[in-house]
Chains A and B, each alone.
Chain A
Amino acid sequence: KAGVTQTPRYLIKTRGQQVTLSCSPISGHRSVSWYQQTPGQGLQFLFEYFSETQRNKGNFPGRFSGRQFSNSRSEMNVSTLELGDSALYLCASSLRPNRPSGTEAFFGQGTRLTVV
């Protein structure tokens, strides 16, 4: 079974530009979550999608947005990039949202975004 696929693996963007990252979950998984990882803040939750609906959103500005398609693939978009958006962006897929008793979340290799 293929794992979680994130594209691209690396990106360099200029401040003020926008970027779109893609995540293909494990086949059969319908829940996709996004996390930002930085040395200072660690792993921070961005948002979660299930059946094309955003179920939860972390404490990030409106410049961060996402969506999920009918095949469960997800994209996240960051507009008006800032230097502080440089981070590793990780996508996780699971069979269902983590409730009530939880299920394992499997992560992709991440997209390393550098804003210059």
Chain B
Amino acid sequence: SQQGEEDPQALSIQEGENATMNCSYKTSINNLQWYRQNSGRGLVHLILIRSNEREKHSGRLRVTLDTSKKSSSLLITASRAADTASYFCATDGDNQGGKLIFGQGTELSVKP
């Protein structure tokens, strides 16, 4: 079953613009992780945010977590063509038996 629902499903922007992707989930979590996947290849880990954290930064990435709304957002600032990829959120919680549950992903296209 899918825990995370991502929005939008697809996003097309110009280089230099910011890209925001949202993820909503249904049950309580221990942490939420964001991954990037380029064209059917492996998943690259971007950032992990724990349930007691509200915001986290890594380079051009900013992740927020609102546990009261059961939602997270990933912001990529000053996007580049190389950011073109699918982005997935994945939740980890005590009721998930140690497995990550992924959303369907957001397909980001950054045009030069």
Residues of A whose CB lies within 8 Å of any CB of B are 4, 6, 33, 35, 42-43, 45, 48, 55-56, 58, 88, 90, 92, 97-110, 112
Q: B2 in the interface, Cβ–Cβ < 8 Å? A: yes
Residues of B whose CB lies within 8 Å of any CB of A are 2, 30-31, 33, 35, 40-45, 48, 50, 88, 90, 92, 94, 96-105
Closest to B52 in A: A101
**CA A107 to CA B100, docked complex, whole Å:** 12
* B42 touching A105, Cβ below 8 Å: no
Q: What are 17 A-B interface contacts by the 8 Å CB criterion?
A: A4-B42, A6-B42, A42-B2, A42-B103, A45-B100, A45-B101, A55-B98, A90-B43, A92-B43, A98-B30, A100-B94, A102-B30, A102-B92, A104-B45, A107-B42, A107-B44, A109-B42
**CA A7 to CA B48, docked complex, whole Å:** 27
**Chain B proximity of A9: nearest CB distance (Å):** 10
Chain A residues whose C-beta falls within 8 Å of the C-beta of B101 in the assembled complex = 45
| A56 CB contact (under 8 Å) in B2, B35, B99, B102 | B99
**CA A42 to CA B3, docked complex, whole Å:** 12
| A105 CB contact (under 8 Å) in B40, B45, B103 | B45
**Chain B proximity of A40: nearest CB distance (Å):** 10
* B99 touching A98, Cβ below 8 Å: yes
* B102 touching A42, Cβ below 8 Å: yes
* B97 touching A102, Cβ below 8 Å: no
**CA A106 to CA B44, docked complex, whole Å:** 7
